Each structure stands twice: as structure tokens, then as C-alpha cells.
Amino acid sequence: MEKKKNLIIAAVLFCAVLLMVVSTGLWAAPKLAQSKAKPGDCVACHVDKKVLPETHPDTRSMDMKACRACHTADNMSLTGKFPGSHTHMLSGVSCEACHGRTGQPEEAPMEKCVACHGPTATLAEKTKDVKPTNPHTSPHYGTELDCNLCHKQHAKSENYCAQCHKFDFKTP
């Protein structure tokens, strides 16, 4: 009798865990499935909300280079208009390039960024003339401040230094 009861408890627990695993999997699945959409096909992912002006040219088959025919750094700059993941997607950098190939996205640590954009000292050299100061080096953190503190891939980018300084950076 006691044995049967334990068996039932074990079965119930097993089902509960299974349900949890399956439901978290389902939660993550649509985002990853959507990632198969072409990066310029905004409406494929943004079904509820307009992310481009009504009269905008059709972007479906465009990449970042095509956007830059009209959007340059000085004219209608796209900096800050959408999350960094979008600039990357439109430049041919897939989700997997940052998150690995597993079904569940792996963390995307700074080493991944540096592998393409670094080394950090070279990056700091590239932005040495940025005013009012170089965002990629400082007396406090050297060149090793985590990229993701400023360059957000899935949210609006931030100006980490602005907590204490009045540097008016436009963070891409």
C-alpha cells in the first residue's frame, strides 16, 4: 500500500516537472522561430505595432547596407531607433553568432563581441577622437568595461558614464 502511494506521488511530481520544462520551452520557442524571418521584414515579427512610418519604402529584402543608401550618420541616422540585435541581423550577424546553436539561447558574454570588434585596445583607438571623451577607455575601467553595460542588444542602449558625468554620448 505504502509503495503504491509513493509511486503515485512520484508520478505526479514527474508530470509537474515535465509540464514546467515543456511550458518554458514553449515560451522561448516563438521568439526563436520568428528569428527565421528576414531581418528587413519588420511586419513578420511586429504584427501588433507599426515600427516604420506608413509611407516608408518596402524594406523586406533590404540589409543594413541598403538602409544606408538613405540613412547615413549625418542624415536620418538610425542610431537608437531600434535595438542592437536589429543592426546585427541586418548586417548578417545571426542570433546564433552571439548565442550559440542550442535550442535555448546561451549567454552572450563580452568575449563574443570582442572576437568580432576587438581587441578592446584597438576599439578604443578607433574612438579616440569622440567628444567629449573616449567612451571606450577611462581612468576607472581602462578599456575593459563590459560592452553590454552600454550597447544593449534587446533594449535601448545606455550611456553608463552618465550616472556620474555629463557626457552626451549617442550610444549605438
Number of residues that bind ligand HEC (CB under 6 A): 87
Rounded to whole angstroms, the Cα distance separating 80 from 61 reads 22
Kindly indicate which of the ranges 2-10, 11-19, 67-75 contains the residues binding ligand HEC, using the contact rule CB under 6 A: 67-75
Cβ atoms within 10 Å, residue 136: 22
Could you give the C-alpha distances from 35 to 15, 78, 117, in angstroms and in order? 30, 21, 23
Minimum CB separation of residue 7 from ligand HEC in Å reads 36
- Pick the closer one to ligand HEC by CB: 17 or 52: 52
- Pick the closer one to ligand HEC by CB: 1 or 155: 155
Binding mask 108-147 for ligand HEC (x = CB under 6 A): x-x-xxxxxx--x--x--xx--x--x-xx-xxxx---x-x
Is residue 153 within 8 Å of 88, Cβ to Cβ?
yes
Binding mask 41-60 for ligand HEC (x = CB under 6 A): xx-xxx--x-xxx-xxx-x-
Rounded to whole angstroms, the Cα distance separating 82 from 49 reads 14
Minimum CB separation of residue 8 from ligand HEC in Å reads 36
Minimum CB separation of residue 163 from ligand HEC in Å reads 4
- Pick the closer one to ligand HEC by CB: 24 or 34: 34
Rounded to whole angstroms, the Cα distance separating 136 from 60 reads 34
Q: Of 100, 74, 78, 102, which Cα lies nearest the Cα of 90?
A: 78
Kindly indicate which of the ranges 9-17, 18-26, 29-37 contains the residues binding ligand HEC, using the contact rule CB under 6 A: 29-37
Binding mask 72-101 for ligand HEC (x = CB under 6 A): ----x-xx-xxxxxxxxxxx-x-x-xxx--
Rounded to whole angstroms, the Cα distance separating 108 from 98 reads 5
- Pick the closer one to ligand HEC by CB: 5 or 87: 87
Terminal Cα distance for the chain, rounded: 66
